[in-house]
């Protein structure tokens, strides 16, 4: 995390103390602690040492979302989904994050995908009046299966306003088994007023660098894919959303995100998938290979499964 995000508005002596601590952490993190296992695993854990981030990964991909505690230290953080570059089959995120130097490459991967307040790799919001209305960071988390074959957890998001017409809240279950780049999400939205909702599931724009991004839209097969502009010295991230074509209203965009707009009903769960890969990882090194993989998926949109 950039130091300025932590220290703005603090007394100078505290700024210096925090800066010294951060410098010591980075210097110490030139070599990470060795992994406790090199076995392929799916894994999810809570990171109370980093404002209650939730970290989940498997043998192919790695993600996190941000906790309520972060809101006071990094305003305005939000409910977008972070994606990390990963180049090993075993878990690495917690050791990298604990080092204080997660934005540097230590031979296993790194965090260089910039979520900001955008949707990142598959966050959602409510589409109303040509605008996306989004929640803040998650409020509660319950780990259902920590791994090693499947990582699964459930979070809730506190109610948030959709203009002045209604208030919406969300419960979402995340499931990531071994052997796939896609996390399955089952979302249930509650609304203060009846009637269908237009859900905007998004992929953030310019999350690794400014420049041309390769965007693939396939409403018939039910996916949206973005291959990011390469960050200098760090490469590109690929992100895709899989959705049920029967619920699609349109594929569009706003200033911050590429968006899939779906029609759903409050109180009824619905399913979508979010996947990511790093072009310097072990599996996909160019746009065409990634899109071919995305198109070959067979998602299960039955929320009862």
pLDDT at residue 104 is higher than 70: yes
Q: How confident is the model at residue 31 (pLDDT cuts 50, 70, 90)?
A: low
- Segment 224-230 shows an average pLDDT of 98
Average pLDDT, the chain: 91
Tell me the per-residue pLDDT of 119-144, one tens digit each, with 9 for 90 and over: 999 999 999 999 999 999 999 999 99
pLDDT per residue over 41-99, tens digit each?
999 999 999 999 999 999 999 999 999 999 998 877 899 999 999 999 999 999 999 99
Domain segments of the chain: what residues? 1-27, 40-300
Class of domain 40-300 as given by CATH? mainly beta
What's the pLDDT tens digit per position in 237-291?
Answer: 999 999 999 999 999 999 999 999 999 999 999 999 999 999 999 999 999 999 9
Secondary structure (DSSP) of the chain:
--HHHHHTTS-HHHHHHHHHHHHHHHHHTTSPPPPS--S---EEEEEGGGTTEEEEE-SS-EEEE-BGGGGGTSTT--S-BEEEEE-SSS--HHHHHHTT-TTS--SSEE-----TTS-BEEEEEEEETTEEE---SB-EEEEEE--SSEEEEEEEEEEEEETTTEEEEEEEEEEEETT-SEEEEEEEEEESS-S-EEEEEEEESSSS-SS--EEEEETTTTEEEEEPPPBTTTB-EEEEEE--GGGEEEEEE-SSEEEEEEEE-TTS-EEEEEEEEETTSSS--SHHHHHHHHHT------TT-
CA 124 to centroid of chain Cα atoms:
10
């Amino acid at each position: 995390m950039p130091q300025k995000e932590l220290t703005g508005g603090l007394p100078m002596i505290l700024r210096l103390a925090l800066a010294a601590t951060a410098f010591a952490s980075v210097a110490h993190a030139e070599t990470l602690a060795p992994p406790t296992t090199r076995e392929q695993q799916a894994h999810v854990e809570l990171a109370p040492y980093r404002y209650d981030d939730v970290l989940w990964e498997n043998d192919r991909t790695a993600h996190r979302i941000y906790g309520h505690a972060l809101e006071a230290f990094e305003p305005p953080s939000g409910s977008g989904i972070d994606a990390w570059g990963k180049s090993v089959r075993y878990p690495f995120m917690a050791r990298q994050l604990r080092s204080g130097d997660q934005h540097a490459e230590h031979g296993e991967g790194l965090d260089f995908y910039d979520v900001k307040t955008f949707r990142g790799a598959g966050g959602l919001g409510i589409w109303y009046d040509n605008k996306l209305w989004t929640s803040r960071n998650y409020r509660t988390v319950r780990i259902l299966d920590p791994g090693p074959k499947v990582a699964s957890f459930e979070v809730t998001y506190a109610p948030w306003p959709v203009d002045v017409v209604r208030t919406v809240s969300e419960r979402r279950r995340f499931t990531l088994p071994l052997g796939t780049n896609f996390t399955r999400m089952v979302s249930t939205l509650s609304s203060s007023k009846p009637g269908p909702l237009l859900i905007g599931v998004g992929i953030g724009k310019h999350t690794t660098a400014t420049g041309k991004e390769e965007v693939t839209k396939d409403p018939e097969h039910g996916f949206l894919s973005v291959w990011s502009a390469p960050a200098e010295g760090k490469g590109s991230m690929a992100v895709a959303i899989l959705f049920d074509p029967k619920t699609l209203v349109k594929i569009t965009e706003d200033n911050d995100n590429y968006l899939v707009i779906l029609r759903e009903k409050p109180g009824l769960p619905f399913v979508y998938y979010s996947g990511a890969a790093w072009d310097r990882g072990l599996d996909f090194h160019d746009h065409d290979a990634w899109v071919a993989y995305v198109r070959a998926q067979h998602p299960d949109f039955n929320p009862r499964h």
